[in-house]
Amino acid sequence: MNLTVLLIAAFLPLPVLLFMILRSGSFGKGSIGTMLKLFFLGVASAVPAFLMEAGCLLVISVFLGLFPDDAFGGNLPVVSAVLRCFIAAALIEEGWKLFVLRASTWKQMIMENITDGIAASALVGTGFSAVMYGAWQAAYYVIPAHMEILREALPEFLGAGAVTSFLVALLYIFSHFGYSGIMGAFYGIAKGSEQKEHGKRAGFMFFFSGLLPILLHGFCAALSGYGIAEGKPVWVAVGLALEAVLALLMATMLGRASDAVSEDFYSAAENQPVDFADSEEFASFAESQGNGDQTGNRDEEAAQGSEAERDDEKELYGETVQDDEAAVPDDEAARDDDAAVPGLETALEDQAVQDDGSGQDDLQ
């Protein structure tokens, strides 16, 4: 089939998926910068992943070429599909995506709900898958036909018919969106558990965030790869249908998820750095702190006013005490005067008695 048509079909879902992730409202107000970072990290990680997968497919192809067609009980195609899809494709691709996701978000980002985990992983997965599909198509058209050993090491979908090639191209990025969504859901729970310092639960969920995508990716790819290799369209249809259902499920979760979906699961630990200073939650927190500061200022002003009133009262009371102390000597002097008056009266009476006595003596 024409390469241009395949590339258009493959990249057609990309802007739709990116719009869905942006619309989910993940990562707060700085979502665009975070989205670009994760997307281009996925793009960059596809290069070493492609080289590793190509080398692994070549080794598997050479190894299986050592066996006759009736080896493994006549199940050589099944063994080939399992090795190629589970080890070469799923293990390497999902492993690289999980590595990039953890390296870029585990310590650098606070995830508040499952939406953040799905969105972050989906961004890495979409950028990764876009480069991988283009690289495989370029390799298929660059490697000459006479180099059979190299062409046999390429994925089966590159040599499929027109209809199957178109369907695979249309679902390639979309299917990786589904695998990455499963990874992100469990990764988000693991990250939230780590933020709440639940180490065992975080490790358990992180393990499943890598295991389940590998199993699902390998199983779906093995079904479609076996069907293409053996010319059995039913197996191809089943594998592609499973990929489409998984991707639709993850798209639904991303569209409907909100902060209330897993509010109990996620809460940033008190000792974690706050890197969501532009979020609405932080604005509410800052406003409440501002109100608290204003209340504290008002209380402080009231306390200062009370102290001033107490100082005024002390000054007033101090003057009153001084007046009272000054009045005490005057009262004592008055009491002394009062005490002196009876003595004077007694002396006058004595003098009068003496005068009367002297007068009587004269008459005699």
**Please, how many CA atoms are within 13 Å of residue 233, restricted to the half-sphere of its CB?**
6
Mean pLDDT of the region 104-114: 83
pLDDT in tens, 304-329: 656 666 655 555 555 544 555 554 45
Cβ distance 247 to 129 under 8 Å? no
Q: Please check whether residue 258 lies inside any domain of the structure.
A: yes
Q: Is residue 324 domain-resident?
A: no
Kindly indicate the confidence band of residue 113, based on its pLDDT and cuts at 50, 70 and 90: confident
Q: Would the pLDDT of 38 be above 80?
A: yes
Select the more confidently predicted residue: 69 or 81.
81
Mean pLDDT of the chain: 78
Residue 105 included in any domain: yes
The conformation of residue 130, written as its DSSP 8-state character, comes to H
Query: Mean pLDDT highest for which of 210-219, 278-287, 323-332?
Result: 210-219
pLDDT surpassing 50 at residue 261: no
Q: Is residue 203 part of a domain?
A: yes
Domain that holds residue 120: 3-278
- Write out the H or E segment, with its range, that includes residue 232: none
pLDDT tens-digit readout, 127-184? 999 999 999 999 998 988 888 888 888 898 998 889 999 999 999 999 999 999 999 9
Q: Residue 126 is inside which H or E element, if any?
A: helix 114-142
pLDDT at 254 exceeding the cut of 60: yes
Task: Give the pLDDT of residue 138.
Answer: 92
So what's the pLDDT on residue 71? 83
* pLDDT at site 253: 83
Confidence of residue 193 (pLDDT cuts 50, 70, 90): confident
Domain tally, the chain = 1
pTM above 0.85, yes or no: no
Predicted confidence band at 354 (pLDDT cuts at 50, 70, 90)? Answer: low
Range from 17-21, 177-181, 346-350 that averages highest in pLDDT: 177-181
Beta strands in 86-167 (DSSP E): none
Residue 286 has pLDDT above 70, yes or no: no
Q: For residue 356, is it within any domain? A: no
More confident call, 268 vs 182: 182
Residue 50 has a pLDDT of: 96
In a domain, 340, yes or no: no
Q: Has residue 283 been placed in a domain?
A: no
Residue 11 lies in a domain: yes
